[in-house]
Amino acid sequence: MSAIARRYARAAVEVAEQKGGLAAVEALTQGLTAFRAAFKQSPELREILRNPALREQRQGALEAVIKKLGLTGETAKLVTLLADRERHAVLDEVGAAAAPLADERMGRARAYVTTAIALGDVQAQRLARALEKRFGQPVALSVKIDPNILGGLVVQVRDVTMDSSVKNQLESLRERLLA
């Protein structure tokens, strides 16, 4: 992660906290997550931000995307600032850097969960409660779906990784059989 992305993220989180408290910090990270997803999924949005020849259309298109995503306050200002300064290349890194800073400010841990299929709301809540009990603080889940793990979960919280995936269990069994 670049130093510039960390600086933008730190400044954005600090400004959001000063202006609106922890609710604004949470809104910032959620807004950045939404914009990052839109940026990754839309070749048109990437093109309008990357192409200097489309600079005149950029502001209008960006305003439309910000409105459609419901971005407000510091998130909208940060996205606009990055676009104006031709820093769209660090947008993803800024969002990635802002999440742990926000988690730290909010006194929670971030759990990166990989599953073979999507978790239901009840399953996600049960997992979050179990992790909160284990780590002694609130836990925010970031869930990624990877069918390659075949089943089970891979959970990473800080420097602790818990791998109960079927893929890992099959690999362990294979190693024991070969030994």
Distance between CA atoms of 176 and 68, rounded to whole angstroms?
53
Is residue 86 very low, low, confident or very high in pLDDT (cuts 50, 70, 90)? confident
- pLDDT digits 0-9 by tens, 95-136: 889 988 999 898 999 999 999 999 999 999 999 999 999 999
- The rounded distance, in Å, linking the Cα atoms of 94 and 70 is 19
Choose among 159, 132, 128, 152: nearest CA to 142. Answer: 128
Instruction: Identify the pLDDT of residue 158.
Output: 87
Q: Residues of 54-83 as b/e, b for ≥16 C-beta within 10 angstroms?
A: eeeebeebbeebbeebebeebbbbbbbebb
pLDDT in tens, 134-177: 999 999 998 999 999 999 999 999 889 999 999 999 999 999 99
pLDDT at 127: 95
* pTM of the shown model: 0.73
Tens-place pLDDT, residues 35-57: 999 988 989 888 888 888 888 88
Residues with Cβ within 8 Å of residue 31, at least 6 apart in sequence: 69, 70, 71, 72, 75, 76, 79
- Find where tokens 């409660």 sit: 129
pLDDT, residue 145, reads: 93
> What pairing do the DSSP bridges indicate for beta strands 153-157 and 160-163?
antiparallel
Cβ(104)–Cβ(73) under 8 Å?
A: no
Give the per-residue pLDDT at 92: 85
Instruction: Give the Cα separation of 49 and 96 in Å (integer).
Output: 19
pLDDT at 58: 85
